[in-house]
Amino acid sequence: MRRDTRGSLPIFGRILGLTRPYWKHIGASIVLTFFYSVFSGASIYLFIPLLDVLFNPEKVSAAVSAEGGGVVPGIGKWLSGVKQEFIDAVLAGSQTDALLRISVIIIVTFLLKNMFGYLQFYLMNYSEESIIRDLRNKLYRHLHSLPLGYFTNERTGDLISRIVSDVSILNGGISAFFVTIMRQPLLIVVYLALAFSLSWKLTLISLVVFP
């Protein structure tokens, strides 16, 4: 039997309408998600110069200089220049100074990553809980506006389940929607950019072989 889904879109629009009072919190959460994704990728990338500083600092300059162009020559040359300037700044001075410098950078990067992640989670959780609170209040007011005959035909357990359980399920759906739409695509973009900056050939081979 074919299921009629024509009414799902208006219901979804009504649910999104509940987010309007909290668009500032949601917008700030989106911005914080972007910074979280960037620092998440940077926290992984920074371990490469750390290992080079520890084991073979002379290898860094030669490796970057031999990197060459990327998929687009202009972009590849620009990325190589940025990496070369960053590595030169990190490796300036003695090996101990370079090790101290990169360790401080890694610690600061992880702190910023966790801070942005916490603020993003706090704002998004505040928005989700506020939306669910408003939805429960509307449902409660709606139940009080119904005639007494409605309650004689409905079970009390069903009404309580709709207010408590069904609304909680909707809360999980809203949370999954925002996480899936915002955080995961940004993380994929950052990690792909990181992989292409390290070795675009191996990244293309991985993308071809993976499916």
Q: Round to whole Å and give the CA distance between 112 and 39.
A: 7
What CA–CA distance (Å, rounded) separates 32 from 9? 29
**In angstroms, rounded to a whole number, what is the distance separating the alpha carbons of residues 192 and 202?**
12
pLDDT tier at 114 (50, 70, 90 boundaries)? very high
Confidence check: pLDDT of 71 > 60? no
| Choice among 94-103, 118-127, 170-179 with the minimum mean pLDDT | 170-179
If one compares 195 and 10, the residue with the highest pLDDT of the two is 195
Provide the percentage of residues in the chain whose pLDDT is more than 70.
70
Which residue, 103, 170, 176, is CA-closest to 135?
Answer: 170
70: confidence class by pLDDT, cuts 50, 70, 90: very low
pLDDT tens, residue by residue, 22-50:
888 888 888 888 898 888 888 887 777 67
Which amino acid makes up residue 208?
Answer: V
At 111, is the pLDDT very low, low, confident or very high (cuts 50, 70, 90)?
A: very high
Mean pLDDT of the chain: 75
In tens, the pLDDT along 138-150 reads 888 888 888 887 7
Half-sphere exposure of 118 toward its Cβ, with a 13 Å CA cutoff?
A: 6
Contact partners, residue 126, CB within 8 Å, separation at least 6: 22, 25
Cα 52 from Cα 93, distance rounded (Å): 15
CA angle at residue 173 from 154 to 121, to 5 degrees? 130
Please name the residue that has the structure tokens 């110069």: 49
Written as six digits, the tokens of 181 are 């739409």
Contacts of 46 (CB under 8 A, 6+ apart): 102, 105, 106, 109
Q: How many CB atoms lie within 10 A of CB 33?
A: 25
Vertex 184, ends 179 and 189: CA angle to 5°?
A: 150
> Based on the number of CB atoms within 10 Å of its own CB, is 121 exposed (0-12), middle (13-18) or buried (19 or more)?
middle
